[in-house]
Structure formats: C-alpha cells, structure tokens
Amino acid sequence: MTDVAAKLGPLWGAALRTEDATDDADFFDSGGTSIDAVRLAASIATTFDIAVNAVDVVTHSEFADLANLIESRLAAEGTGPAIKSLWDDEVFRRFELIVNGPALFNAVVTGLELDIFGFLARQPKAELDEIRQFADVPRHQLRVLMHALCSTRLIERHEGRYVNSAVAETLLAGDGPDSWRHILPAWQRVYYPAFQHLTSAVRTGTNTALADYPGDEPSLYQRLSRDPELEAVFHRAMGAFTRQTLDGLLDNAELSGVGHLVDVGGGDGTTAIQLANRFPDLRVTVFDLNSVAARAGDQGLIKFRGCPECW
C-alpha cells in the first residue's frame, strides 16, 4: 500500500462508516451518498492540501482510482496551496459550479431520456434495482448517474431508496406541453453545441456555428427544416418555454376589438392558440416556414401558411 493509500484509508472509512478500504472497494457499494462524497472530498483536500471536490470522488469511485487521482494532484507542483487559498472565495465556488455544470446538466437530460423522474413520480421510494429494471441500463452506470442526479438535489436518496425532490416532481416528472422535459433536450442538442464556436463567432462577427448544419440558408431556423426530427425537438422546446411565460401576455393583451391577427414567425401556433382561446372570435393567421406550417396544420379559426420569404 502506498503512502497516499495509507492516509486515504482512514478518511474513506470515516466518511463511509466502514473498515473496507481495499484497492477494489467501491464508494457506491459501500453505501456512499452525495453528502458522503462532499465529506470525503473535504477531508482529502485538508489532509493532502490539494483541490478535490465531490465530482472527483464520484468519478473515481474505486479506492485505488481515488488514490491515484490524489497522487496525480500531488504531482502537479504548486497547485495545492494556490487552490486552497481560494476555497472560501465566492467567485471560486461559482467557478466550480460553471466548470462542473455541463456534466450535471447532461446527467439531468439523461435522466429525462430514461424517464427516471417520471418513474419515481409513479413509484416513489424505488430502490436502485427497481430503477435499473425499468431503465434497462447496467447497474454500475445507473449508480453513477443516480449519484450525479442526487448531487443536484433534484433526486434524494434515503436509506437506499430514491424520491424526486419537489422541484423535479413539478418541472421534470410530468409530460405536459409546458414541461421542462421538452426544453432541456433541445438546449442540449441545438443551443449548447454552438457554444464551442463562440470564440470564432466573436472574432468574425458571424454565426460560425451554422457550419454544423447542412444547407446554405442564413439562419439556424431555416436550416433546421432540413432535419424534421431535430426541428420537431426545437419547436416542442419553444412551445413549452412560451407556455411558461404566456400568462403575462394573455393577462395584458386587449384584443376584444380585433377581428384578425397575423403572427409572423409564430412557429407551431402556441401563442396563437392561447390567444384564440382567450378571444373566441379572433381569427389568426400564422406565417412560418413551409415545414413548420405543414406540421402544425389549420386548427379552427387558426390558419397556418408557409412563408419562406418571411426569412
């Protein structure tokens, strides 16, 4: 056993309330929780004078892997003291949130795609093996995913059983038209990939991220029409997000004297439909791309017309 492993053993045992600190001991199999990960990371940081956080513990869940991580951090000359001096800095805590945010965001989207939040709404206090049987994914991978979701506090684990938090139950478990489960996958697939092009976009003053989408049209909106599945994901997200903010418009719009409303770029008609429900005599014509208008289809007094030249 190395010197690092010898020092890590008691920290591991104290955090997990176990004497099992062998090389193949696993954090999750030992009953580790997100709180335990935070506790162990703090102990490691203090003992070894290096920067370690709960994500490091989760992603190096075997004892030997965690010891190797510590050794590699110790080998990074000068890193420990410099980082340690920032631990109480609010900006540093925000920095950690930023750099770890993408991993946690994608864990949430994976939880949505596997319908874990929906399953826990239907079967609260489920054990890991019950979730595994439902999601049909390997146990170890699911265990890591559930730990990530618990670290966001969207899911809580009590005595080996999992439940949705109130936020997850309200925003992520349901499949209604305004659910965040329609919004986040679109952010992952449409919005976030573009961020890697930010530097070139700032330098050139153009939307360089468009190069990732086939076609020669000048806007993302137009190029999405070449991919019907992705275009549908985008419009579901737009519709869901619109519904979350639409009450402000409906409560303040005075259209009782208007007979015909034209909505240019109205997408799938989310706004038009709600306005028509509020004002039953209102006729609405929605102009959008041919692909969008064809998907929406006319609905009573709401007519959809393709208008490529509008863009």
Burial of 214-227, coded b for 16+ CB within 10 Å and e otherwise, reads eeebeebbbbbbee
The pTM of the full predicted model, rounded to 2 decimals, is 0.73
- Backbone φ and ψ for 157, nearest 5 degrees, come out as -120, 125
In degrees, rounded to 5, the angle at the alpha carbon of residue 165 between the alpha carbons of residues 164 and 166 is 115
Weakest-pLDDT range from 17-26, 75-84, 161-170, 284-293: 75-84
| Residue 37: pLDDT over 90 | no
Least confident of 42-56, 149-163, 176-190, 295-309: 295-309
Task: Compute the residue count for the chain.
Answer: 311
User: Average pLDDT in the 88-93 region?
Assistant: 79
Residue 84: partners with Cβ closer than 8 Å, 6 or more residues away: 45, 49, 50, 51
Show the tokens assigned to 307.
Answer: 């208008």
Tell me what percent of the residues of the chain surpass a pLDDT of 90: 43
Q: What integer pLDDT is reported at residue 116 of this predicted model?
A: 98
| Whether residue 101 has pLDDT greater than 90 | no
- In the chain the domains, ranked by start, together with CATH numbers, are 3-84 (1.10.1200.10), 101-171 (1.10.10.10)
- In the numeric block, the tokens 């009782």 are attached to 256
pLDDT 10s digits, 145-156: 998 898 888 999
Kind plus residue range of the DSSP H or E element containing 302: strand 302-306
Mean pLDDT of 187-214: 93
